[in-house]
Each structure stands twice: as C-alpha cells, then as structure tokens.
Homo-oligomer: A and B are copies of this chain.
Amino acid sequence: MVHDPALRSRATIGDVARAAGVSTRTVTRVSLGQPHVGAETRRRTEAAIRNLQYRADSLAQGLAWRRSDLIGMIYENPNPNYIIDVQQGLLEGLQPQRLELVVRRCEQADSEFFNELAAFAERLKLAGMVLTPPLSHDARIAALLEAIGCPYVRIAARRLDRPERTVAGGDRAGAREMGRHLAGLGHRRIGAILGPANFMSSGERLAGLQDGLAEHGVRLSPGLCVRGAYTFESGIAGGRALLAREAAPSAIFAANDEMAAGVLQAARQAGLAVPDDLTVVGFDDLEIARSLWPPLTSVRMPTRQLGRLAAWKLSVAAGRKPLVGGPPPVDAPRLVVRRSCGPPPVS
C-alpha cells in the first residue's frame, strides 16, 4: 500500500510539542486534562493545540490504552423500527462522550457466531457492547463478553443481570395497563397474539396482560392465545386464526404494533369493523400506530431512552466522566388510547 501524504491527519502530538516548546508528555497532560501543569506551560500548549487543530489519533490512543473509543451494538431483530430507535438513543448518549457506535448484524444460528463476536470485540478493542433483544437474553453471550473483559449492557424487558449491565423497559407494567383498559371496557373474551418464544418481551407482555385482566376478574382463555413472530404477516395469520374460532374474541391484544396492523387487515378481510365489531390493540407505539386506520391504542415504550441509558452506563464502564449529573431518565410505559378500541359489541 502506497503512502499517500494526503491521508496524513493534520498535526501529531510531536508537532504540538515542538510548536509549544514542551515535551509530548506535557501535551498529553493538557489534552487529557491531567493535573500538574504550570499555568504558563498550559497556556502555551493549549494555544499550540488550537492553532494546529490537534486531535489525538483515536487508533494510536486505543493502542496505547488497550481500549478503543468504539462501542459495539449487535442485533438480530426482525423489527427495523425498534433497532433504529435504540440506535438513535445510543448515538445521543454516546456522541457527547466522544464514543463512536459500530453496528453489526448477527445470526445467532451461525456456527461461527461466538467466534465472530469475540473477534469483533477483541480486534476492535471495544470499549463496550450493547446487546439488543433477543441476543441480550442469551447468558452465553454475556459470559463470553465477561470472559474477554468487554463491558456490556443488555437491553431487555426485565432486569436480568447486574444493574450496571442491564437496562429494562418494564414491559410487564405496560401490558398490565393494557389489560386493565380492555377489561375496563367490558371485554371478557380476549385474544392474544404473542411474540416469538425467544423474546423475553413476549412473555412479559403476556404476563402483564394477564395481571391487568385478573384485577378485573378476567382470565385469558388459553385457546385464544396464538404465537406470532412480531411481523405484519404473522399478525394477519394470527388475526385470521383467532377470528375463525367458534367463540371469537371481542378484543385482540397483539404483542406489538406490527402484528396489530396485521390484525386490522384480517378484521377487514373478515368484514369486521374496528372498533365496532372488534377491538384491536398493539404495543410499542411506534409511528405505525398513528398511521393506521383506525389509529391504534398501544403502549408507548421508552425505547429510545433505554438506548440513551445504555449509552450512559457504557460511558461509565469506559471510565468517561459523565457530562451531566446522573443517569438519564426512562419513562414508565404509558397506555396511549386511540380509536381502535371500544366496548364489546352488544350482539
């Protein structure tokens, strides 16, 4: 590979040292904000840094520190809206700390998965890693990262690791509200379309729904529970299946908005009006919930805030001094009532 002089980044620490008439050791002290520098020396050095627009080379720094300023995020998730939301939150939290985000899509089924993951973290000397569902649920991944000394944060529906390593959304509490709401509207025969079995959120949302219904003495009949895949298509299929039951439900809880959109289609194809003939509700409250017709009652999850909190925890783990006070806030899940639900038909 030819050395192209144009590629050379502006000024090195040596240039600054020369310009300021100090040693590189002193430049490091100043640029890293370390103590023990004379006022006049500091002034001269700072001036040189400014004039030469010096910025420490991230690679060299990483090599010396045995740690890069890179945070990895891995995902294997069917829902792009969820991923982008987490990612935005991460970026918001990471960029002020001068940490960069490197993303990677994984296939856990891949035989090389664990080797690849280790290589990813080690080759890049990652300062930390964010695990999103469903990868975050896998204890083996956490164990691997622990073993190679890579700090991580698991984003999940429920706390499942030490506090500094988990960020949880409170799915169960959110679903509980939804259960209360449905029961409160008078629904007694309620259908549910779950997410994939390997998603913790699916189980939590089901449990929460049952909690909320139980407060009103309502039970979810097992025959009205079908498994979905968190996708639009699986929502259509699940909706059709439930509506074909002899005693069809008067309300359908889809474990996410995508599937609820599918249920809406299934209802339409079955000639049912929503909410007059059938109540449909979703979960997550992504943009799609507002775009559909009728607009979907859903539960707003603080996905982005979870990303921001994960970034904060990782900053701490990476030894960054937080710019703000404490950890950023995470709102509790919140029921958002829209036009897709009403009382059961009188029939």
Contact = CB atoms under 8 A, between A and B. Distances in A.
Interface of A: 1, 3-4, 6-10, 55-60, 62-63, 65-68, 70, 80-81, 83-85, 87-88, 91-92, 95, 100-105, 119-120, 122-125, 148-149, 232, 258, 261-262, 264-265, 268, 287-288, 290-293, 319
Within the oligomer, what is the number of copies of this chain?
2
Contacts of A6: 148-149
Tell me what chain A mostly uses at the interface: helix, strand, loop, or mixed. Answer: helix
Contacts of A288: 288, 291
Contact of A67 (B7, B68, B92): B7
Given A1-B65, A105-B88, A149-B6, A125 B59 contact: yes
Contacts of A95: 104-105
A90 B257 CA distance: 27
Given A70-B102, A101-B102, A122-B9, A293 B290 contact: no
B9 A125 contact: yes
24 contacts: A6-B149, A7-B125, A8-B149, A10-B122, A55-B123, A57-B63, A57-B123, A57-B125, A59-B63, A59-B68, A70-B102, A80-B80, A80-B85, A81-B81, A91-B103, A91-B104, A91-B105, A92-B105, A100-B102, A101-B102, A102-B103, A103-B103, A292-B292, A292-B293
Contacts of A91: 103-105
A114 to B, nearest CB: 12
B232 A290 contact: yes
A12 to B, nearest CB: 11
A63 B66 contact: no
Contacts of A56: 123
B319 A1 contact: yes
Given A66-B7, A87-B103, A119 B55 contact: yes
Contacts of A264: 293
A120 B58 CA distance: 10
A59 B57 contact: no
A103 B103 CA distance: 7
A84 B120 CA distance: 21
Given A80-B80, A102-B101, A149-B4, A123 B58 contact: yes
A332 B45 CA distance: 56
A341 to B, nearest CB: 17
A232 B291 contact: yes
A57 B293 CA distance: 53
